[in-house]
């Protein structure tokens, strides 16, 4: 029998047929089949991501804005040092130690850190989807992922320096910038129609500069305010909280004046093509800005209650997204 070997199997003189060991060709065939299956699975996953690239760009906006809110919850609940180290949560441990008396703050901070992995997965989907479907944007699609890495590093350093406000403020501003960029990327990817009309690019640039000032002063207001992120992190920016809050409010009033003038200039304009998004863009920005202003004044005059500050952070992401959409959609094709 060609497929068996005669051998003394039991030592008692009885011959037993023992199958031969698998040959090298057998292992090669198994490995080839395995690699083929893995390749097909990988191609299927990549194709699925590519087909849903636009969905990933939208998810990227939501997760980037969401991390602003969860980071705010960490600060407002005093959980900023719930994990005392980074990248580990505690020295020698990547997960927190939960005790009946002290479980809350580690859980909040560790949960916020875990959300970073959600952002990373979404950013990876954005990078793959855009790289494979829009070659002209492939390098721009890498920015959200790079931003997530930078945010993780800045957040880690912030913990290591015990929530110093000079690092907490850039941490917040970077998140806001990523929201603004993510909206721009999503609109560019879907080739959203721009405005048909005369260029107002310098007016838009002035408004964008004003937005940057608003966000910068808002971050300084946060750094000078009472919510440090932990009961032991008492160091705040050496600024008069009332003065910096008024400067922040003044920058918002300036924005409203510039924005009202811009709306007047584009009031009769529409988007190129059949789908008009111009009016929607500036209406949404107007509503979000006014809502943010109302919340800001209420929280100022009521002593900055935590729930109102959290709502203001929700509005921060919405404001950055609304301005980015307005900035993109109100441009003409000639100035794109």
pLDDT at 50 over 80: yes
> Which residue from 150, 148, 170 is spatially nearest to 216, judged by alpha carbons?
170
Domain ranges of the chain: 1-48, 52-335
pLDDT given for residue 5 in this prediction: 46
What is the percent of the chain where pLDDT is above 90? 54
Give residue 3's pLDDT band: very low, low, confident or very high (50, 70, 90): very low
Can you tell me which residue has the tokens 């809502």? 291
Do 97 and 106 form a contact (C-beta atoms < 8 A)? yes
Mean pLDDT of 179-191: 96
**Residue 91 CB contacts under 8 Å (≥ 6 apart), including other chains:** 84, 85
pTM to 2 decimals?
A: 0.86
pLDDT at 256 over 90: yes
**Residue 177 CB contacts under 8 Å (≥ 6 apart), including other chains:** 147, 320
pLDDT given for residue 6 in this prediction: 47
pLDDT given for residue 1 in this prediction: 45
**Residue 65 CB contacts under 8 Å (≥ 6 apart), including other chains:** 179, 314, 317, 318, 320, 321
What is the percent of the chain where pLDDT is above 70? 89
CA dihedral 192, 184, 254, 290 (to 10 degrees): 70
pLDDT at 4 over 60: no
Residue 9: alpha-carbon gap to chain centroid: 66
pLDDT at 36 over 80: yes
Give the Cα separation of 259 and 274 in Å (integer): 26
């Amino acid at each position: 029998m060609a497929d068996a070997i005669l051998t003394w199997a039991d030592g008692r003189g009885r011959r037993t047929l023992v199958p031969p060991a698998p040959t090298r060709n057998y292992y090669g065939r198994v490995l080839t089949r395995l690699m083929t299956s893995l390749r097909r699975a990988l191609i299927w996953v990549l194709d699925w991501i590519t087909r849903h690239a636009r969905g990933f760009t939208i998810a990227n906006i939501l997760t980037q804005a969401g991390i602003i809110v969860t980071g705010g919850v960490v600060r407002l609940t005093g959980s900023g040092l719930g994990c005392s180290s980074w990248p580990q949560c505690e020295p020698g441990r990547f997960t927190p130690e939960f005790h009946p008396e002290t479980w809350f703050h580690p859980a909040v901070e560790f949960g916020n850190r875990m959300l970073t992995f959600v952002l990373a997965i979404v950013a990876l989907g954005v990078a793959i989807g855009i790289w494979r479907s829009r070659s002209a944007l492939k390098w721009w699609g890498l920015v959200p992922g790079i931003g997530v890495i930078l945010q993780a590093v800045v957040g880690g350093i912030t913990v290591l320096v015990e929530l110093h406000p000079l690092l907490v403020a850039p941490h917040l501003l970077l998140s806001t910038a990523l929201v603004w960029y993510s909206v721009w990327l999503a609109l560019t990817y879907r080739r959203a129609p721009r405005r048909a009309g005369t260029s107002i690019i310098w007016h838009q640039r002035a408004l964008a500069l004003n937005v940057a000032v608003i966000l910068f002063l808002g971050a300084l207001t946060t750094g000078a305010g009472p919510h440090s992120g932990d009961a032991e992190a008492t160091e705040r920016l050496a600024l008069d909280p009332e003065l910096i809050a008024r400067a922040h409010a003044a920058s918002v009033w300036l924005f409203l004046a510039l924005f009202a003038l811009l709306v007047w200039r584009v009031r009769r304009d529409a988007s190129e093509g059949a789908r008009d998004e111009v009016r929607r863009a500036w209406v949404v920005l107007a509503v979000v800005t006014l809502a943010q202003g109302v919340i800001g004044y209420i929280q100022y005059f009521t002593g900055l209650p935590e729930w109102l500050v959290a709502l203001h952070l929700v509005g921060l992401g919405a404001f950055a997204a609304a301005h980015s959409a307005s900035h993109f959609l109100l441009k003409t094709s000639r100035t794109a």
